[in-house]
Structure 1
Amino acid sequence: MLYPLKFKPIYKERIWGGRKIETVFGKKLPETEKIGESWELSGVDGDISVVANGKLKGNNLQELIEIYMGDLVGDKVFEKYGEEFPLLIKLIDADDNLSIQVHPDDKLAAERHHSFGKTEMWYVVGHEPDARLYLGFNQPVDKEKYLKYLEAGKLAELLNAYKVEDGDSYFIPAGTIHAIGKGLLIAEIQQTSDITYRVFDWNRVDPKTGKGRELHTALALDAIEYKARSDYKTVAAPRTNAPVTLEKCPYFQTNSLIVDGTAERDYAPLDSFVILICLDGKLELEYEGGTETLKKGETVLIPAEMNEITLQGNGKTLEVYVP
C-alpha cells in the first residue's frame, strides 16, 4: 500500500537568491550559495525528485509512476500524461529582482522544445515593504512598441506592478510577461517545464562571470501575449477547516486549506494525486495505515489511491491536484 510521500528538496543557486528558504522554512541550505529556489516536487528531466521517507525512500518519482501508475497519480492523469509527472512545485526566495521573462504555451513549447508549456501561479508567503510583482502589460502594446521600450531599458514601465501582501495569489498563463520583484518569498505551482525566455535582466552582471546573463529576445517575440489586462490576482475569502479555491485551470487546481483543529478530506472523486504544501504551523496527517507529520516548509504527495485523510493541528497549507 502506498503512503504519503515526502521528497528531498532540490536546491537551485540563483544570482537573485538569498537565505530565506533556510531562515523561514528551516531547510538546511548549502552554506556558501545564494539559493533562489527549492524544488519541492519535480518530474523535470535531470531533476527528478527522490523519496525521503518510508519504505520507498531512495526511489525517484519517475520510478514510482512506472510501477504504480494510476494508483499513484490517478487513472485519468496517467492516461493523459503517462509516466511524466505533470506539475512542478517550488519555493522561491527573491532576494533581488528576477528577470523580466515569459514562458511559451503548450503548442510553442512542443514545437521548439518537445516540452510542456509553462502556466503557473504564485502564492505570496512573505514580503518586504514595497515588494512588487510585475505581471502583464498595463496598456495596449504591439511588437514594435515592446521592442522600443525593451531597447531603451524601460520595459518595466509597460507592466502592471502589483504591491503585494502575504496570502495574495496570482495566476500567470503561459505567454504572460512577468517578473518577481525583490523581497518576496513565494510558493509556485506550475506545469512541468523549465523553459524560460529571459528578455530583460535589469542590466545586472553575474559576479561569477563578469557578464550579463543570456537574453532570449528573438525567442520571446512570438511567445508573448501582447494584450493589456490586469486581472491576474485571485480573490478568495479565507475559511477554516475547509478548502477555498484559489485557482482552477486545465493543468491544476490550487486550494487554500487552513486547519485549526481537524479537517477531514475525501479525495475519492478527484482521481488525482494531491499535493499538500505546508506554509505555516504543524499538522498530523492521519490515513488508513498510519500517520505522518507535516510541518512548515514541507511538501507531501498523497497518492491517488488514498481516498480519505484527516489533518489535525494548526497549519496553513496549499492543496494542489489535477482537476
Structure 2
Amino acid sequence: MTTALPAVTLAANQPDRFYRGGAAIADLRGAADAAVWGPEDWVASITTLFGQPRAGLSTLPDGRLLRDAVSADPTGWVGAEHATAFGDDTALLVKLLDAGQRLPVHVHPSNSFARSHLGCRHGKTEAWVIVGTSGPNPTVYAGFRDDVDEATVATWVSTQDSEAMLAALNPIPVKPGDTVFVPAGLPHAIGEGVFIVELQQPTDFSVLLEWTGFAEPGDPSAHLAIGWETALRCVDRDGWAGSRLDGLVMRTADQRSPVVPLFTEQAAPFFQADRIHADSAVDLDPSFAVLVALEGNGTLRTEHGGTVAVRRGDTLVVPHSAGSSQVDGGLVLVRCRPPAPETWEAS
C-alpha cells in the first residue's frame, strides 16, 4: 500500500535565463528586492535546462530533488494509473514567466520530432495563463499570418531578419484572465510586460529563429545541437488566421465560478489547468497537481497529506496520494495537472 505524501510548499527555483524580467515574480512572492529575481521560476520541476545536468530541478524542503523523490515513489507522487503510462515522469512543467523584454521568435518541436531527433518522448507543446500585464499594449505573438515557404524561413534565420519574422506573426493583445494554447511547431514570442503561468511538456527544447541579442553567435543550443537544416523542419509554416487562430485563445477574466477551466480539449493530451476561486470551500479530486496562489490567504486541506497554510505568491506541489483536497480563505489559485488519462495514447 502506498504511503500518503503531504502537499509541499516550494521555494523559488530560478535558473539563469537569456532575457530580462522577474519584477512581477518578486511582487507576487512578496520579495523585497526584485533585482535578484530572474524572469522564470520553474515550479515542481523534474526538468533541466537544455544540455545541463541539474539546473532547473526543484528542491524539496528536506533537501531532496523532487525528481529523485518521484523516482523513489512514482505511485505515491503521480498515482498508479499515471505511473503505468509515464513511470517516474510527472509529464508536466510549470513556470512563472515575467517578460521584462520581448522574447525572441522561437518554436518548439513536436513529440514525433523529439522522438526522431532528440531521443525524448516529449516535445514541447505549451500554454500561457496570463496573470498580469504592464505597459500600454501587452501582446503575445503566435503563428504566421500567411503560409511561408521553407526558403523564406531559412533566409530570415540566416540573416537574422527579426523585423520580418515578428511582422509575419499574428499579434494577440492579452490581459489577465486570458489563456493562449501554443501547439508544438507554432512560431511564437511573448511581448514585454506579460506575466504568465506557463504549462508545458517537461522539456527545454527551443529552436531560436531569432537569436541575435539572446544567444551567442554559433551557439549550438539555438538549434538544439542538431543543425539548422534539421531544426527548421519542426517549424509550422502554415498560415494561422480567423477561427483557427481564435481557437487558441480563451478569455476567462469575467468567470468567477469555483472551478474555471482554462483550456479547451485540445490541451488535454499535454496538460490541464483550472482557476480556483475559493470564496467558499472548494473540493478537488485526487491528482498530482501544481498550485500557484494568485490571491488570498487560506488553507489547503488534504484527505491523507495534512493541512497547509497558503497565501498569495505561494507555489505548492500536491502528490496524488494526498487524496482529495479542499481550499478556502478566498484563495485564487491556478491548479495545473498532467495530461488527462483518457488522452495518453493519443499524446
Mapping for residues 50-129 of structure 1, pairs under 5 Å: 50-52=59-61, 57-115=62-120, 116-128=122-134, 129=136
Letter in 1 for 2:29: F
Match among 254, 259, 262 for residue 242 of structure 1: 259
Letter in 1 for 2:213: R
Q: CA deviation at 1:288?
A: 3.1
Change (3 A) 1:20 1:144: same
Change (3 A) 1:279 1:219: farther
Find the counterpart in structure 1 of residue 345 from structure 2. none
Change (3 A) 1:284 1:121: same
Match among 22, 25, 41 for residue 21 of structure 1: 25
Q: CA deviation at 1:139?
A: 1.2
User: Does 1 or 2 have the higher relative contact order (CA < 8 Å, sep 6+)?
Assistant: 2
Q: CA deviation at 1:39?
A: 0.8
Judging by fraction of residues, say which structure has more helix: 2
Distance (whole Å) between structure 1 residues aligned to residue 184 and residue 313 of structure 2? 27
Q: Choose 179-188 or 136-145, whichever is displaced more.
A: 136-145
Change (3 A) 1:238 1:279: same
Find the counterpart in structure 2 of residue 291 from structure 1. 307
Distance (whole Å) between structure 2 residues aligned to residue 143 and residue 295 of structure 1? 49
Find the counterpart in structure 1 of residue 12 from structure 2. 9
Cα deviation 1:37-58 (Å, max 9, x = unaligned):
1111111142321112xxxx22
Work out the percentage of aligned pairs sharing the same amino acid.
26
Find the counterpart in structure 1 of residue 232 from structure 2. 221
Find the counterpart in structure 1 of residue 343 from structure 2. none
**TM-score normalised by structure 1 residue count:** 0.87
Mapping for residues 28-47 of structure 1, pairs under 5 Å: 33=36, 35-45=38-48, 46=54, 47=56
Match among 196, 215, 218 for residue 206 of structure 2: 196
Cα deviation 1:65-103 (Å, max 9, x = unaligned):
233221210112111211222111111111111111001
Q: CA deviation at 1:244?
A: 2.6
Letter in 1 for 2:257: T
Mapping for residues 152-167 of structure 1, pairs under 5 Å: 152-153=161-162, 154-167=164-177
Find the counterpart in structure 1 of residue 317 from structure 2. 301
Judging by fraction of residues, say which structure has more strand: 1
Q: How many residues align?
A: 309
Secondary structure of the corresponding residue to residue 19 of structure 2: strand
Match among 143, 146, 169 for residue 150 of structure 2: 143
Cα deviation 1:246-282 (Å, max 9, x = unaligned):
3432121111212212212233xxxx41222212222
Change (3 A) 1:253 1:111: same
| RMSD of equivalent CA atoms | 2.3
Find the counterpart in structure 2 of residue 254 from structure 1. 273
Q: CA deviation at 1:149?
A: 4.7
Letter in 2 for 1:185: F
Q: CA deviation at 1:148?
A: 4.5
Distance (whole Å) between structure 1 residues aligned to residue 151 and residue 316 of structure 2? 46
Secondary structure of the corresponding residue to residue 152 of structure 2: helix
Q: Choose 156-165 or 36-45, whichever is displaced more.
A: 36-45
8 Å CA contact 2:26, 2:37 repeated in 1: no
| Structure 1 residue ranges without an equivalent (≥5) | none
Cα deviation 1:204-237 (Å, max 9, x = unaligned):
377xxxx558443434310111122213212446
